[in-house]
Structure 1
Amino acid sequence: MVTTPTPTERFTSDPVQSPYPSSGNGESDRTLTSRQFEEVRNVFNVFDVESSGFIDVPTMEILARSLGFRMGQQEIRDTIQSMQEERQTDDVESIDLEAACYILHKRGYSSRNAEEEMQSYFRLFDRGNKGYVTLEDLQQLQREVIDAEQRLNIGTSVNVEVDDVMLQAMINEFDTNADSVLDFDEFKVLLAPIIS
């Protein structure tokens, strides 16, 4: 009988082995690093508001988006179904930490580098793929975060909303060419301390 290590055992060293076999169709076989797993685990714990060890598919969609990945609920369900035989389950609505890591690994989370990571985050902020981030983009993202916190019943009891003056001040801080928006190079400077 083959024993499966716990998530803690499986994800303590660098690189971290994926709990699921490769598809054999040329997809990346790289695994999550300890840093990547810690990032996923920290975000997972935020969204697992009841500390049950599970989140649902709509919550996984939001979790993935917070990590820079856009994927629909059907895509998440399809990915879960592809691992059902390995996990010996037919529950495609409950996602534990291992399943979340598997879904993200299949979407390329384990193989992206810092530049790709920054581009993913930039795409989250750049509404409409304009090539820059505006004050309106930041306002819309802030509204979405507050709405998600309220829907998931997470966050502080009082939502902290940053006013337009502060949002524009943040843009101005990193806006080296003084065009009142953040292009990708300016955005990278803002994000570099977080990604590195």
Structure 2
Amino acid sequence: MKGIVLVKFNEFIEELWGEGFWDKLINEADLPSEGAYTTVVTYDDQELFMLIGLVAYKQNISVRDVQFAFGKWVFKEFYNIAPSGAHDFEDVFEFLHAVQDFIHVEVKKLNPNALVPEFKFLSETFNKLSFHYISPRKLCFFCEGIVHGLAEQMGQAVNVSQSECEHEGGQRCVLVVEKV
């Protein structure tokens, strides 16, 4: 996991529950990095999963809700640092295609070892798009939140659901985005 994600998770947690709550998480998690994150270092994915699990436990909310809320929150952060040209898209569907065809390509140019999710687009109409979300990290709920953050940025209302989900016994995660 690139450090930028963990740095942003720290900011997200502190914004919602304060610096003291973040410090308690780090102390309780007993992480190899000790929670000293920098944006350019790569950390074990388990650090994020451990922190998400602790937040869910301590705040009595689901892991799904923590991932979703973080994804929605972090979209604007990622949007602000997106590569040149990423801000040229004004539609949720266009942007989602650009993530696969442009943004992740640019990320890989800067960091060839970056492990970015893949989107395989399955169907699209004027108001509905479905895609297979592929990632060994299985952060499909985080992706749902990202899509909601994207929709807010674009000024569009969407419903996001999963017609299949690995966490619910499916063979894959298929996100369905519908403009409303």
Larger radius of gyration: 1
TM norm structure 2? 0.29
Greater share of residues in strand: 2
